[in-house]
Amino acid sequence: MPPDGVGAVVVGGDYQGLGIVRSLGRHGIPVCVIDDEVSIARHSRYTTHAVHVESLRDQDRTVEQLVDIGNRLHLDGWVLYPTREETVAAISRHRDELRDQFRVPTPGWETVKWAWDKRNTYQLARQIGIPIPRTWYPTTLAELRDIDAEPPLAIKPAIKEHFLYPTRAKAWKAETRWELEELFRRATSVVGPGEVMVQEFVPGNGSQQFACCVFFKGGQALGQMAVRRLRQHPREFGRASTFVETADVPLVETLSQRLLTAINYYGLAELEFKLDPRDGTYKLLDFNARTWGYHSLGGQAGVDFPYLLFADQMGRSPDPCRARVGVRWIRLLTDLPTALTALVKGHLDWRPYLTSLRTAHTDAVFSKDDPLPGLVEVGLLPYLAVKRGF
């Protein structure tokens, strides 16, 4: 038990937030869940408080609501866990103000800016020798036409959250020059020309994507897990993993630690790479300065990420630990429709798929000791399909 009933505030109550709630709750730590959407984590047996707020999209308003809830519920000294990019940005930018009431593991903006804006991420990667896909930053159609590469090409936002909510997509794939111009026009109408990136399409689907997940402190990974995405939704530009396996990928770990050390990073982070079959290099795609969707895989594999962070915030620095290889995580409610689409299109065979279901060690939502969130999510399927596209 933490001292004097100190707990955690989880900002976001989807399956990612639920994983944090369960991790901490199983250690006897009280948890407050705050969300602006329909939350499954509020139904967990491990949730102490659940608060619905009007919106978490506006950063200033988010901070005001956190302070107000902290005062009303007497959450002095509780540890903040953001689960979405915009709440990471809000907490980072207002870190000094929030530290008057909470423990704030999220780094300051001078660190988080390298993850928030992918133009910064790729600039830093180039400077320190981490491979990235070829990337251009056109602001006009003339600059777009000057790009010296042939489709397929990806249209991506520099700041993911500005693009993700209105489009429900992480990126778009252009198969022709004509399609590239059309998608560029659409993207600039959503986020403006200054935030649109064009990137070479690295061949392969989600099974070529790897990630390094860490609790990082003082230039060292105190908790570390490398994974391979076996399936994702959507298949080519995965907004979310649906089936993931821990793996042994030393080079991905080395590259990730190089980046995190360069910005003096502290806390939980996920860095995503794609293996380019053309030259055998792992190319950095994304950097998340927070928990990630499948973080609960860590607990099953021997690295309980949310608890490692909490313990460190309580002054109990954990011993270094590494995830066991070959442990599998699934989010069944999104993996099933993703697999069905792949089966229909001939990208997946049903026998190996059924076999893979039997090999999963842990599910994102369904749990024998905490069944209600899973039952609630089944009832929410129509809402999730409309609101988030799964």
Q: State how far the Cα of 234 lies from the Cα of 56, in Å rounded to an integer.
A: 25
Q: State residue 180's pLDDT score.
A: 98
Residue 385, pLDDT score: 65
- What pLDDT shows up at residue 386? 63
Which class is domain 206-388? Answer: alpha beta
Rounded to an integer, what distance in angstroms lies between the CA atom of residue 155 and that of residue 302? 37
What's the chain's Rg over C-alpha atoms?
Answer: 20
Domain ranges of the chain: 3-106, 134-200, 206-388
Residue 230 phi, psi (nearest 5): -85, -35
pLDDT tens for 318-327 read 999 999 999 9
Q: Which amino acid is at 290?
A: R
Looking at domain 3-106, its CATH class is alpha beta
Query: Helix or strand or coil: residue 270?
Result: strand
Q: Which CATH superfamily is domain 134-200 in?
A: ATP-grasp fold, A domain (3.30.1490.20)
The whole-number pLDDT of residue 238 equals: 64
Euclidean distance between the first and the last CA atom of the chain, given in angstroms as a whole number:
36
pLDDT at 2: 62
C-alpha to C-alpha distance for 10 and 34, rounded to whole angstroms: 6
Q: What is the DSSP letter of 103?
A: B
Burial class (CB in 10 A: 0-12, 13-18, 19+), 346: exposed
* Cβ atoms of 234 and 286 closer than 8 Å: no
Predicted confidence at residue 390, as pLDDT, reads 53
Along the 390 residues of the chain, how does pLDDT read in single tens digits? 566 789 999 999 999 999 999 999 999 999 999 999 999 999 999 999 999 999 999 999 999 999 999 999 999 999 999 999 999 999 999 999 999 999 999 999 999 999 999 999 999 999 999 999 999 999 999 999 999 999 999 999 999 999 999 998 899 999 999 999 999 999 999 999 899 999 999 998 777 999 999 999 999 999 999 999 999 887 767 678 999 999 999 999 999 999 999 999 999 999 999 999 999 999 999 999 999 999 999 999 999 999 999 999 999 989 999 999 999 999 999 999 889 988 998 888 999 999 999 999 999 999 999 999 999 999 987 766 666 555
DSSP string, 143-209: HHHT---PSPEEEEESSHHHHHHHHS-S-EEE-SHHHHHHHHHHHHHHH-GGGEEEEE--SS-GGGE
Residues 6+ apart with CB under 8 A from 60: 90, 94
3-state secondary structure of 224: strand
Kindly tell me the burial class for residue 28, based on how many C-beta atoms sit within 10 Å of its own C-beta (0-12, 13-18, 19 or more): exposed
- What is the spatial distance between Cα 68 and Cα 241, in angstroms, rounded to a whole number? 34
Q: Determine contact, residues 204/186, Cβ cutoff 8 Å.
A: no
pLDDT for 322:
98
Tell me how many degrees the CA angle 241-244-247 measures, rounded to the nearest 5.
135
**What's the whole-model pTM score?**
0.95
Per-residue HEC secondary structure of 10-30 comes to EECCCHHHHHHHHHHHCCCCC
Longest dimension (CA), the chain: 63
Sign of CA dihedral 181, 187, 190, 193: negative
